[in-house]
Amino acid sequence: MEIPKLDEALIRLETAVSSGRRSPGYCHRLWSQFIRARDLYSCVVCDSPKQVAAHHILRKSFLIAAKYEIGNGITLCQPCHAEMHMAYNGKPDLGKPMDAEGGENIERMIDLLGYLASDASDRGILCDKYYHLSDQYLNTCKRFQGIEEELTFPGIRLEQAYWIWRQTPRAALKAILEANGLKMPSNFIQRGPII
């Protein structure tokens, strides 16, 4: 899709969300249209153009505010989308730890963030404008991982979300280091290649 048309789709979505038109169908339809257009109407995982749909990477039931965040969406074909919902597709019990019911498939969620960042980078459109995630989204991810909100991660917000989830949960990492007589620096970030 041409950038001007993509920008038009983004403006329509932002206008609908900011104007209070929060009817589930209308805003979700605009969000879905933008995600699929941005991803060139092809599955970001396998490149299939058949039966594609926009998928929320982090379920909106965990963070309702992420429902229309464009960095939280990825285009998937029907088989790749079905794989994401295979284990559990109900409303999660938020009193249980994340993925306790098997619905999040955290490793697969991290893979989707990586696929999305790699695809955007390869296409030359990796920027917050087309892959925005809010501070609330990033801070929620940090809380799930036991990371202090003040710790900053490199890259645009999509890349930051990827790196936040790629970290070994802080409690486990601290326990391993302490068992070996080491202390973790407060600004420690695990890094490597994206996907």
* DSSP code per residue over 92-104: --TTSPTTTTS-S
Range of the domain at 60: 3-179
pLDDT score at 65: 84
Report if residue 68 sits inside a domain: yes
- How many structural domains is the chain composed of? 1
pLDDT score at 77: 98
Report if residue 98 sits inside a domain: yes
Report if residue 49 sits inside a domain: yes
pLDDT score at 55: 96
Report if residue 65 sits inside a domain: yes
The pTM assigned to this predicted structure is 0.88
Report if residue 7 sits inside a domain: yes
pLDDT score at 101: 59
Report if residue 150 sits inside a domain: yes
pLDDT score at 19: 85
The structure tokens listed for 125 are: 């459109």
Cα separation, 116 vs 161, whole angstroms: 11
Report if residue 189 sits inside a domain: no
pLDDT score at 124: 96
pLDDT score at 5: 93
Instruction: Report the b/e string of 106-133 with b at 16+ CB within 10 A.
Output: eeebbbbbbbbbbbbeeeeebeeebbbb
pLDDT score at 164: 96
**Residue 40: φ, ψ to 5°:** 60, 35
pLDDT score at 97: 58
- pLDDT beneath 50: ranges in the chain: none
Report if residue 96 sits inside a domain: yes
pLDDT score at 134: 96
73 close to 130: Cβ distance less than 8 angstroms: no
87: number of Cβ within 10 Å: 13
